[in-house]
Amino acid sequence: MDSSELTSEIKPELKSKNSFEAELPVLQKDYPGISERSLLNNVLQHSSLILWALDKEGRFILSTGAGLKMIGLTVGEVIGASLFEMYADHPNICEKVRSALNGEEVQEFVEVDGHAFETWYRPIITEGSQINGVVGITSVVTDLYETRKALEKSETRFEKLAQMAPVGIFQCNLKGRIIFANRYFWSCFKEETYENISQNIQAADNLKSSELTWLELFHSEGTDSLEEQWKESLDNGQAFESRLIPRQPAKDINQVLLRLEKTESDGFVGIVVDMTAVQKAESVSALRHRELEKAVQYRTIELIELNTKLKAEVESRKRATQELQLSQNQMQSILENTVDSIVQIDREGRLEYVNHTRSENPSEEVIGSTVFDWLDPADAKIAQETLRRVIDNGEQVEQPAMVNLPDGNQAYMTGRWGPIWHDEKVIGATIVATDVTEMRNMELESKRRQEELAHMSRLSLIGEMSARLSHELKQPLFSIGSLATGCLNYVEAGKIDPAELKTMLQRIARLSNESRDIVENTKDFAIRRPFQKKSAQVQEIIERSLDLVSGEFKKSEILIEQTYEDHLPAVNVDPIQIQQVFVNLIMNSIDAIRVSHKQLSHQITISAKPLNEEFVIVNVSDTGDGFQEIEPSNLFEAFRSTKENGLGMGLAICRGIMENNLGELKLLSTGEEGTYFQINLPIYTPANKV
């Protein structure tokens, strides 16, 4: 499997075009043959990326990308190998893969055998919501990692070198604000000048300016201010150099030499030399003056060399910054060309970044709006609660929603919300949204067909029980006819006993109601209706199911035993569909008992009790001989039947009904002692009533 095959396998088919898809025809016109697949392959072949995938056992099924060469591997070399064996000494990698196999999306930075990697792990999910493996994008960032470490060492060397220098050294920006100053520099001033300043400056990042300027620390000579003198030297393209007197000089410091030169990064590096001794020597002897001048020149040369080294360090930092920018650009390209929509929002839900809008509208048009602006009111309310959970609790939450796209179309998307941490606080959230519109439509169509199949199954059950229904109706109708005839005979004979006539009419009314109940129950069970979950009582559903098959019990002399715990909670189901499940299981039990070879008084036992705060369990068991001609593991498969004329669809439909109602149907045991089924029904709460 190459990268193009994996991409087509895991990429969902999109009906609405994103901005990249809108621009692709233009590119294809100017550059025939260009496609998303060729662009992806081009990125993989000319960058430090590795695209890989694992099956659900952890074996490599894909390994491609130019980054493999950087770590001594070739494309496809590790196909079939187990990641868990290759990286057994790196439990953190194995743990991240297991997390992805459990459905999580994770990101990690790790160093292995001298190489540094930044990796994104994502589960491969099929249309049936099954996890088939893991796909990952790994960026080999060894050079960037080494550059960062070298930059840190360079900064450390620079600071140590500057601190050990026998002169004052400082850095400032264009406004003269001090960025860095060594100990010698601060030793030229009284302690109160810097006791609350120097430590802050030394502890701060060297690229951030302090509030103190060097202009505030010295007196100006002449009529022009120090700032004007400095500006004049800048305008002339010269370094600024002057002997200055500190405003609050340290003991024995009268005068210093300050020289300030501009660097290539628009900053300034300055030196400060104590000239007090020079000043005294000049007043005593010219000879001493010349000797001191030589010493100053020598120190100046040293400082120039130091300045050269500082320039080299600045240039090194500049190169590191450029390499970091290149890595960021590569990552931005991946984000913009990924299928999923990736959104970054602040604590209030305002959009700060969108990789693409999935329409012809540019991302800039939606920046500044809130994520709630693009959702229907009901979904927006849920999204607000989701954001609060992410911001307040740092949770990772998944929420489906109907999204109103900028071009007027709609897409049903599943968003995975995660917190953005900074200084141990959540400052915002990221949302990775996957378009599942087609999958949702397929699920709805599947549910519709399942409802049709369930309806046909109910009609089939009615057909199986038609003889019993005929018998159940024939008896009360025959009695009604006899009683009515008796009433007519009394009237014709002129012998009307009001008390006896009343009794006969009451019996006619009671038998008529019984016939009506039989018809109504059968009609309710057989009528086709849309799927509708509501609050229902378990015992009532079971009683209605037993009413439908009561004639079978009488005909087969089967006992029915029912046990219900007190105060059973209501369940959240479609009562007619669940009644179909019970009728099917009871009819199966009756059929199994009829063909049983055991000589005993047979019975069917039904019990119900709460399992936990989420489910009520109903157990249905019989004393038949169990399923003898079919493996229990195949029992719920379609077209598997132990009956001579059975289609084998009953239990398959029942399991589908339970899944549709968010419940579960399980076979606990089957054998010579009988068969034992367990049904888990979700408890009704206001939150799950839809």
Beta bridge partners of 52: 63, 136
So what's the pLDDT on residue 482? 61
Tell me if 417 sits within 8 A of 444, measured CB to CB.
no
So what's the pLDDT on residue 14? 33
So what's the pLDDT on residue 412? 83
CA distance 134 to 101: 6
CA distance 63 to 73: 10
So what's the pLDDT on residue 109? 83
Beta strands in 56-163 (DSSP E): 60-64, 106-112, 115-125, 131-140
So what's the pLDDT on residue 10? 36
Q: Give the tokens for residue 143.
A: 């050079």
So what's the pLDDT on residue 7? 36
So what's the pLDDT on residue 202? 47
Superfamily covering domain 340-435: PAS domain (3.30.450.20)
Q: Which residues of the chain have pLDDT under 50?
A: 1-20, 198, 200-209, 467, 471, 639, 646-648, 690
For strands 603-610 and 559-564, give the pairing.
parallel
Local structure of residue 12 (DSSP, 8 states): P
CA distance 490 to 352: 92
What is the architecture of the domain spanning 147-319? 2-Layer Sandwich (3.30)
Q: What angle do CA 215, 219, 221 make, to 5 degrees?
A: 110
Each domain of the chain, given as residue ranges in start order, spans: 3-140, 147-319, 340-435, 531-690
Tell me if 299 sits within 8 A of 18, measured CB to CB.
no
So what's the pLDDT on residue 455? 55
So what's the pLDDT on residue 79? 93
Give the H or E element holding residue 403.
strand 397-404
So what's the pLDDT on residue 114? 77
Query: Count of alpha carbons within 13 Å of 98, Cβ hemisphere only?
Result: 8
The third-level CATH classification (topology) of the domain covering 531-690 is: Heat Shock Protein 90 (3.30.565)
- 345-379 burial, b for 16+ CB within 10 Å, e for fewer? bebebbbeebbbbbbebebeebeeebbbebbeeeb
Does the pTM of the predicted model rise above 0.85? Answer: no
Average pLDDT, the chain: 78
The third-level CATH classification (topology) of the domain covering 3-140 is: Beta-Lactamase (3.30.450)
So what's the pLDDT on residue 16? 41
- 263-299 burial, b for 16+ CB within 10 Å, e for fewer? eeeebbbbbbbbbeebeebeeeeeeeeeebeeeeeeb
Q: What is the DSSP string of 588-647?
A: HHHHHHHT----S--EEEEEEEE-SSSEEEEEEEE-S----SS-GGGTTSTT--SSTT--
The size of the chain, in residues, is 690
CA distance 591 to 595: 7
Please enumerate in sequence order all residues whose Cβ is within 8 A of that of 676, keeping only pairs 6 or more positions apart, or say none.
619, 620, 621, 667, 668, 669, 670
So what's the pLDDT on residue 470? 56
Please enumerate in sequence order all residues whose Cβ is within 8 A of that of 318, keeping only pairs 6 or more positions apart, or say none.
264, 265
Local structure of residue 356 (DSSP, 8 states): -
Q: Is it true that 3-140 and 147-319 share their CATH fold?
A: yes
